[in-house]
Amino acid sequence: MDKKEYDLIVIGTGSAMSIVTRVLHDSPELDIAVIENEAPGGICLTRGCIPSKMLLYPAELVDHIRQAKKFGIDAKIDDIDFSHIMKRMKEHTKGESKNIEKNLQRSDDLDFYQGTARFVEDYTIEINDKTIEGKKIIIGSGSRNIKPPIENLEKVGYLTSKTVLDVKELPKSVTVIGGGYIGAEYGYFLSMMGADVTIVGRVPQFVPSEEIHISEVLEKKLSEHIDIYTGYEAVKVAQKADQKGVLAKKVDPEHEGKEKLKFKSEEIFLAAGRRSNSDLLLPEKSGIKTDEEGWIKVDKTLETSKENIWALGDATGNHMFKHVANHEAEVVYHNAFGDGVMEVDHHAVPHAIFTYPQVASVGLKEEEAKENHDILVGNYPYEQTAKGSAMKVEDYFVKVIIEQETYKILGAHIVGPQASVLIQEIVNLMYTESQSAIPIYRGMHIHPSLSEVVQRAFSNLHVHDHEHQH
């Protein structure tokens, strides 16, 4: 079989495409192959952050209108055109993806392969009955939904964060299996659109990626319109007429509550986490090591166990966010085509959950920070600021963690309106040389604005105390 050789093979058209763009600009003489087995553009554009946020913003508007009564505004929603909301999202993401596809197909500067790549030997990939070899290979192969071993799941059918984007009519009721941020965001969206939503999470803490008190506030607020059950694992599903049933078992029956619960709904939404795509890619055939869950192992330079093969983004299973993949693409480009060595920097990776209230987090949690540092912790409630009072908010707060001696920021956690925006001034300081909180004290904060709640959290520090509660 003829083997075509390339200077660079890139697997995946997400953040790795920024590397391709730069290589084409800087080294146009190189032979490049790009491989994609889904709609071009990567998870973020086609089935992740962008479509979900286009759905979550209308949901937030519905929420605000419903809350208007608190302020003496009698507003009501006559109709929610669900199909219009879905169509707007679809047209935007599909249009962007199609543009990327056209550009890849028409490009004279690279070869574009659409299909699933799999390694067959060192630096060698089989794709659509063709065999190609790369001097340098960059793996941005993404991730996909986990399908837990739930009896009858395939037979009964379910939605995921990918397939929900094709739904044209709102299901009357939905059981969400999974209590993480994807389940929270889509549960919130479907609820605001008018569905009866139940979330069933296996872990006792709702949204377990967050600080416990943040999760508690989010659960309390979302519980006003969503039924949330944590510590229950879905074990079996069944269909009767137009209803789908979910049987869930208590994970730890010693705790209070029933050992088994049954849920009925028109639709099931599966949000049980993400898994590696390496079982499709077979990286081990090229000597690329993976961990026990199949994520590709990389060093600080993002090189795999095989020289001149790098991996980035979801493929490594670390910090699966678009902004991280973009940073990692910069690191890979530098190490594959630049001078010197650049190491990946994950010391201050921010993320947000776009429900209402929003959640945002960066750096260490309190329990993690106190393991290696003497820390000061600051909490401040939104409602004790002028703007928070004007907004009539309750329970929302900012929590910050700094090193006692140096005032170096170690972490920050926010639940409340605009959390994703408020956290940014903290994130930016964590990328300065000293990572010091001092500029927050020195910087004049507009009064009365929500940003004052961040400043006041840093002005309300106390020595770490295990018993301290928000």
Closest to 269 (Cα-Cα) out of 358, 166, 384, 186 = 186
Nearest 5°: the CA angle 40, 337, 46 is 15
Token pair of 195 as six digits: 């569905």
What is the pLDDT at residue 340?
A: 86
If pLDDT is split at 50, 70 and 90, which confidence band does 1 have? low
Token pair of 116 as six digits: 């699933």
Partner residues linked to 233 by β-bridges = 249
What backbone phi and psi angles, to 5 degrees, belong to 101? -60, -45
Percent of the chain with pLDDT over 70: 97
Domain ranges of the chain: 3-144+275-337, 153-272, 357-463
Q: Is 362 in contact with 348 (CB distance < 8 Å)?
A: yes
Instruction: Return d(Cα 25, Cα 9) in angstroms, integer.
Output: 16
Mean pLDDT computed over 126-133: 96
Q: Is 128 in contact with 112 (CB distance < 8 Å)?
A: no
The secondary structure of 226-267 as a DSSP string is EEEEESEEEEEEEEETTEEEEEEEESSTTSSS-SEEEEEESE
HSE of 228, CA atoms in CB hemisphere, 13 A: 26
Fold held by 357-463: Enolase-like; domain 1 (3.30.390)
What is the pLDDT at residue 214?
A: 98
Q: What is the DSSP letter of 355?
A: S
**Which residues, in sequence order, are CB contacts of 275 under 8 Å at separation 6+?**
143, 144, 145, 146, 293, 294
Question: pLDDT digits over 413-468, tens only?
Answer: 999 999 999 999 999 999 999 999 999 999 999 999 999 999 999 999 999 655 44
Instruction: Find the helix packing angle between 49-67 and 82-106, rounded to 10°.
Output: 160
Q: Is 301 in contact with 331 (CB distance < 8 Å)?
A: yes
**Which residues, in sequence order, are CB contacts of 287 under 8 Å at separation 6+?**
122, 305, 306
Q: What global pTM score does this model have?
A: 0.95
Question: pLDDT digits over 339-376, tens only?
Answer: 889 999 999 999 999 999 999 999 999 999 999 999 99
The secondary structure of 41-92 as a DSSP string is THHHHHHSHHHHHHHHHHHHHHHHHHHGGGGT---------HHHHHHHHHHH
Based on DSSP, count helices (H) and strands (E) in the chain, helices before strands: 15, 22
Question: pLDDT digits over 22-34, tens only?
Answer: 999 999 999 999 9
Domain 3-144+275-337 and domain 357-463, same fold? Reply is no
Neighbours of 3 (CB within 10 A): 10
CATH architecture type of domain 3-144+275-337: 3-Layer(bba) Sandwich (3.50)
Residue type (1 letter), 110: L
Question: pLDDT digits over 178-214, tens only?
Answer: 999 999 999 999 999 999 999 999 999 999 999 999 9
The CATH number of 153-272, from 3.30.365.10, 3.50.50.60, 3.20.20.60, 1.10.3720.10, is: 3.50.50.60
Place of tokens 């952050």: 49
CA-to-CA separations, 240 to 30, 157, 172, 267, 427, in angstroms, rounded: 58, 13, 16, 12, 50
Instruction: Return d(Cα 302, Cα 310) in angstroms, integer.
Output: 6
Q: Is 438 helix (H, G, I), strand (E, B) or coil?
A: helix
Question: pLDDT digits over 245-254, tens only?
Answer: 999 999 986 6
